[in-house]
Chains A and B, each alone.
Chain A
Amino acid sequence: MRLLGLAARRLAASLPALLLILIGLFLLLQLAPGDTVDALMAQMGGGDERIATELRVFYGLDLSVPARLGQYLLRLVQLDLGYSAIYGKPVATVILERLPATLLLMTASLSFAFAFGAVLGVVAARRVNRWPDTLISTLGLIFYATPSFWFGLMAIVVFSVHLQWLPAGGFGDVALGLTGFAAVLDIAKHLVLPTLTLALIYLAISLRIMRAAMLEVLTLDFVRTARAKGLTETRVVARHVLRNALLPMITLIGLQVGTMLGGSVVVESVFTLPGLGRLAYESVVQRDLNTLLGIAFVSALLVIAANFIVDMLYARLDPRISSGG
């Protein structure tokens, strides 16, 4: 019950931002040159004016902007995301089709970045200013500075073109008609490069944060207390430093879910993954307003959900939060 209340509170607090986003995007896209029917005409390869006019009526584009905005919001209140002009399906269906790839990619990248970032950060902090630290920190900086799409392209050149170890793109080899474990393995193989590509910058960030947090925590009084107790350094780090140093890392996750979706636009484009990021890009190009707004809505929900999970984690890790709230 308390959990539910907390979730509801988070949601309520995010509503104004969500509304701002939806209305802002709606109005912004009205200024774009061309509408979804123009995009459709281009896709169809032409057609006469009558078809265009009929399509505009069919998609409700003949109504005034405030009327359409009002309609959209009204439908949204009933949790109806509307109908996608370009895909010819309800937006909810279109998004649900694309969600798994993105979620999988984001979860994999985030876990990878978080886990390896934490480990590398700890190693660097334990050997601060010695060669392992220098090496890890330099790597972190280089990872941070690498444009993800470029890394993806180069990874394709190396691992797909020359070594031919991993597929260059896609989300699974449908032609093979795999099922069960083989299919999972196949998807995993397809996700290796995209995951690495997307995770790269987050790996750099989380290793940096982890290292800094470790160093920060290492200077705190209770660590000195722990040492004064005669604990081994390993135990000091494992029992006292690590958990405290994880707190900023967890905050980081919440902050990065939003940007990660943006990053997946590029990565999904490089690896031709059927995900939400590419859908977003396509819906912008195709002026598919309903789909774009739907994605904004879903991504906002994702961010809210991620922050909620972060809150939960934080409360579990930090007793001060749970008793204070």
Chain B
Amino acid sequence: MQFLRAYARNPAALIGAALVLAVLAMGLLAPLLYPGDPLSLAGRPLQWPGANPRFPLGTDPSGRDIAAQLFHGARVSLLIGFSATAIAVVIGIGIGALAGFYGGIVDTLLMRVTEAFQTLPNFLLLLVLVAVFGSDIKTVTIAIGIVAWPPVARLTRAEFLSLRTRDFVQACRLQGLSDAHLILREVLPNALPPVIVYASVVMAIAILLESALAFLQLSDPNVSSWGNLIGLGRNVLRAEWYVSAIPGIAILLTILGVSLVGQGLNDALNPRLAGR
């Protein structure tokens, strides 16, 4: 409750929440407002927004309704964002927690792996993963999760490193509690807030990575993702720039919303830093 109140005091955070909710609503309303396949042929290709009342946002080079794709694309972007973030956060917390809690050789080994992942540019790894395992939506999501976890692991590890020697953890050790209890009940809940805040960054990155892949025509062509639309629009950029511009703005607003929510969470979770 107190947390919610702290959150609600922050106008930027509320705007962020509103944006995310709006995108969520778009995704939920998509099947109602635009029943049927958003990828189906709707009309003549490349009709400008407003030129045809049936297509308020125009049609793309394949004659599909951009508005329908925009609404359905909201689901795809959020789905990819949430799932990839979940994957990255689970992997990252797992590895970071083990490395940070146990230290020593476990830490060294896990951090070497993390370093390897961080040294290789993540987009490059993503390209390889998609080239190898194909570009259907599940693969892409998992691949994004796989390339996005290292910062989560580092963050979790740093939190664990500082928390594991805290007095309350030591006290639990002295009480005879198991490592599992220490990790899951004592350290993790206290390590989570910054990780949750960072999850919003991961989500933004996940959405951006998917759209960049789609832009290079490497994402799943069977779903109406915003990135796919931007990529399609690239061929007609000079004259029909709206095909790329519209979904780009949608991505921008979504990530803006996610970032603002993340910042709001951060401020609400760390009142000391509020206003920063």
Q: Which single member of B115, B119, B248 contacts A147 (CB below 8 Å)? A: B248
**Minimum CB distance partner of B239 in chain A:** A161
* Contact in complex: B119, A153 (CB < 8 Å): no
Instruction: Name the B residues within 8 Å of A154 (CB-CB).
Output: 241, 244-245, 248
Per-residue contact bits, chain B 231-266, to A (CB 8 Å; 1 contact, 0 not): 001100110010011001001111110011000000
- A residues 16-73 near B (Cβ < 8 Å) are 16-18, 20-21, 24-25, 28-29, 31-33
B176 at the binding interface (Cβ < 8 Å): no
Q: Which single member of A25, A161, A211 contacts B128 (CB below 8 Å)? A: A25
**Would A145 and B255 be within 8 Å (CB), given that A259-B122, A281-B216, A296-B124 are in contact?**
yes
**Would A215 and B276 be within 8 Å (CB), given that A24-B116, A28-B129, A145-B252 are in contact?**
yes
Per-residue contact bits, chain B 111-145, to A (CB 8 Å; 1 contact, 0 not): 01101101111111011110111000000000000
* Nearest CB of B to A230, in Å: 27
- Interface core residue of A142, A149, A260 (most chain B CB under 10 Å): A149
* Contact in complex: B124, A128 (CB < 8 Å): no
Instruction: Name the A residues within 8 Å of B113 (CB-CB).
Output: 17, 20
* Contact in complex: B256, A145 (CB < 8 Å): yes
A165 at the binding interface (Cβ < 8 Å): no
* Contact in complex: B128, A295 (CB < 8 Å): no
Q: How long is the Cα–Cα vector from A241 to B119 in the complex, in angstroms?
A: 32
Dominant secondary structure at the A interface: helix
Q: How long is the Cα–Cα vector from A29 to B130 in the complex, in angstroms?
A: 11
* Nearest CB of B to A167, in Å: 14
B197 at the binding interface (Cβ < 8 Å): no
A222 at the binding interface (Cβ < 8 Å): no
* Nearest CB of A to B211, in Å: 5
* Contact in complex: B127, A265 (CB < 8 Å): yes
A269 at the binding interface (Cβ < 8 Å): yes
* Contact in complex: B131, A32 (CB < 8 Å): yes
**Would A17 and B256 be within 8 Å (CB), given that A149-B212, A266-B216, A295-B124 are in contact?**
no
**Would A147 and B212 be within 8 Å (CB), given that A21-B116, A299-B119 are in contact?**
yes
Q: How long is the Cα–Cα vector from A138 to B122 in the complex, in angstroms?
A: 27
Q: Which single member of A17, A29, A263 contacts B123 (CB below 8 Å)? A: A263
* Contact in complex: A28, B132 (CB < 8 Å): yes
Dominant secondary structure at the B interface: helix
B204 at the binding interface (Cβ < 8 Å): yes
**Would A299 and B215 be within 8 Å (CB), given that A17-B115, A141-B256, A157-B238 are in contact?**
no
A193 at the binding interface (Cβ < 8 Å): no
Instruction: Name the A residues within 8 Å of B120 (CB-CB).
Output: 21, 25, 258, 296, 299-300
Q: Which single member of A31, A145, A215, A266 contacts B132 (CB below 8 Å)? A: A31
Instruction: Name the A residues within 8 Å of B22 (CB-CB).
Output: none
Q: How long is the Cα–Cα vector from A295 to B120 in the complex, in angstroms?
A: 9
**Minimum CB distance partner of B108 in chain A:** A16
**Minimum CB distance partner of A280 in chain B:** B124
* Contact in complex: B132, A269 (CB < 8 Å): no
**Would A285 and B131 be within 8 Å (CB), given that A21-B120, A129-B275, A141-B260 are in contact?**
yes
Q: How long is the Cα–Cα vector from A300 to B117 in the complex, in angstroms?
A: 10
A113 at the binding interface (Cβ < 8 Å): no
Q: How long is the Cα–Cα vector from A299 to B113 in the complex, in angstroms?
A: 17
* Nearest CB of A to B272, in Å: 9
Instruction: Name the B residues within 8 Å of A260 (CB-CB).
Output: 121
B195 at the binding interface (Cβ < 8 Å): no
**Minimum CB distance partner of B109 in chain A:** A16
Instruction: Name the A residues within 8 Å of B126 (CB-CB).
Output: 262
Instruction: Name the B residues within 8 Å of A156 (CB-CB).
Output: 237
B191 at the binding interface (Cβ < 8 Å): no
A292 at the binding interface (Cβ < 8 Å): yes
* Contact in complex: B215, A149 (CB < 8 Å): yes
B91 at the binding interface (Cβ < 8 Å): no
* Nearest CB of A to B260, in Å: 7
**Would A284 and B253 be within 8 Å (CB), given that A150-B244, A156-B237 are in contact?**
no
* Nearest CB of B to A106, in Å: 11
Q: How long is the Cα–Cα vector from A265 to B133 in the complex, in angstroms?
A: 20
* Contact in complex: A157, B119 (CB < 8 Å): no
* Contact in complex: A17, B116 (CB < 8 Å): yes
B208 at the binding interface (Cβ < 8 Å): yes
B30 at the binding interface (Cβ < 8 Å): no
Instruction: Name the B residues within 8 Å of A116 (CB-CB).
Output: none
* Contact in complex: B124, A261 (CB < 8 Å): yes
Name 28 interchain pairs, CB-CB below 8 A, sorted by A: A16-B112, A16-B116, A17-B112, A128-B275, A141-B256, A142-B252, A144-B256, A144-B259, A145-B253, A145-B256, A147-B215, A150-B251, A153-B234, A154-B241, A154-B244, A161-B237, A212-B276, A216-B276, A258-B118, A260-B121, A261-B121, A262-B121, A263-B123, A265-B124, A266-B212, A280-B124, A284-B124, A300-B119
Known: A17-B113, A20-B112, A145-B253. 19 other contacts (CB 8 A): A16-B112, A16-B115, A17-B116, A18-B119, A21-B119, A29-B132, A141-B256, A141-B260, A142-B252, A144-B255, A145-B256, A145-B259, A149-B215, A150-B211, A150-B245, A154-B244, A156-B237, A161-B237, A281-B127
The 7 closest A-B pairs by CB, nearest first: A262-B123, A262-B121, A150-B248, A145-B255, A20-B116, A17-B115, A145-B256
